[in-house]
Structure 1
């Protein structure tokens, strides 16, 4: 993997956004997921781009956004509510222009798109993980059960732990997909996070899922 200087500062704008996000969608609904055991999302939004508070448990109050951090590479993702403690590896795009996820023999690893925002810096950072493999659940198997107000932590190589608060969970079907609304920034100037995996129903004939699960979160604290 190249040094921090080469990976930093690559915000997704214009054509880069369009190409990357189309690739992410194709990966999320592609033919690599073959088990068909995705867990439905507990906090589905009624439509893509709904208000950040949609789907929150009654009485949940979201904390204010924290000031974005500088650039640093992600090393680990912790999701306490799901028991996830997973290493992060930088991933690029494959030959077809889609994000290249971790291989299936690393189904417990989360992929970070290294051409985009670094978690904790301004803008949406994109993290992808498999929902399952041919034989077992994978790292993001229960991603869709997260709820608004719950926590995602990203350990960075500068020693800081970026703490994100979930503010939305969506299951985005193919026929209602809008890349910019699904993956673009919710509020300008914030440090945001997108956790992405497969969801919806599984089509054994096509060997793919019908949708993506997309968890949105924003930076609310820093430890370390």
Structure 2
């Protein structure tokens, strides 16, 4: 599926504010618990808080790079888990949740197109399925990434923004803090969040019990 880079009025590269921001955060939380068709053919490698890595001491991390001029994403690559996927722009559904990619294309990644563009100052949000009813999906291995590993986003202007992972968490519903999870960690940086379902699958509610949240920040760029 082709990627999209719709033009927005000045200022829409920033995340929504006020009531719309609150609705977005709530919707993102809900998305992680009800937007799945259930486990695929093998058990997902997420085991709740046991899988959380956080920010271990002693892992050297490079300095942040200055943010780039805004440009939309076309592909996302996570070399450590073998992911290279096209990006599709997604909006909000009727409940205020970010629309995940269609189940017909489980190997695509959704980008919240009304928010920050990857590489620009702020936090760009990417969502992907962990599985479908029959198979693992694009972010099936997301909880296996580790701080110090890279995420590369090829952008529609031909540049490649390289992010370094600095935090990996599997966050249960009882510990979820939307502003902490999706907000900017350090002002002035270009940041990235990769989000999918995690924890265990509850057959009664047809949803997962947690979210996998991977945080990264811009450390390099090519082709600018």
Question: What's the TM-score once normalised by structure 2's chain length?
Answer: 0.90
| 1:10 partnered with 2:18 | no
Per-residue deviation, residues 197-223 of structure 1 (Å, max 9, x unmatched) = 000011112111000000000000001
2:83 counterpart residue number:
84
Specify the alignment match of 1:164 in structure 2: 163
SS state at 1:4 partner = coil
1:94 Cα shift?
A: 0.8
Q: Following the alignment from structure 2 to structure 1, what is the Cα–Cα distance between the partners of residues 150 and 171?
A: 22
Partner of 1:209: 208
Is this contact kept in 2: 1:201–1:211, CA < 8 A? yes
The Cα of 1:15 is off from its aligned counterpart by 2.5
Give per-residue Cα distances to partners, 1:11-31, cap 9 Å, x unaligned: 123323211111011111115
Q: Is the 8 A contact 1:170 1:214 kept in 2?
A: yes
Deviates more, 1:58-67 or 1:74-83: 58-67
Quote the residue 2:52 is aligned against: 44
**In structure 1, how many angstroms separate the alpha carbons of the residues matched to 2:172 and 2:221?**
34
Q: Which runs of 5+ in 2 are unaligned?
A: none
Distance 1:16 1:128 in 2: 19
Q: How far apart, in 2, do the equivalents of 1:4 and 1:175 lie?
A: 38
Shift in CA distance, 43/163, structure 1 to aligned 2, threshold 3 Å? farther
CA contact (8 A) 2:123 2:182 kept: yes
CA contact (8 A) 1:31 1:206 kept: no
1: CA distance between counterparts of 2:213 and 2:112? Answer: 15
Structure-2 separation of matches of 1:63 and 1:164: 10
Indicate conservation of the 8 Å contact 1:60/1:149, yes or no.
Answer: yes
Q: Supply the distance in 2 between the matched residues of 1:80 and 1:114 (Cα, whole angstroms).
A: 24
SS in 1 for 2:68: coil
TM-score for both structures, normalised by structure 1: 0.90
In the alignment, the residues of structure 2 paired with residue 28 and residue 6 of structure 1 have an alpha-carbon distance, to the nearest angstrom, of 29
Q: What is the aligned residue count?
A: 215
Distance in structure 2 (CA, Å) of the matches to 1:109 and 1:217: 19
Equivalent residue runs for 1:45-124 within 5 Å = 54-56=54-56, 59-124=58-123
> Could you say what secondary structure the match of 2:197 adopts?
strand
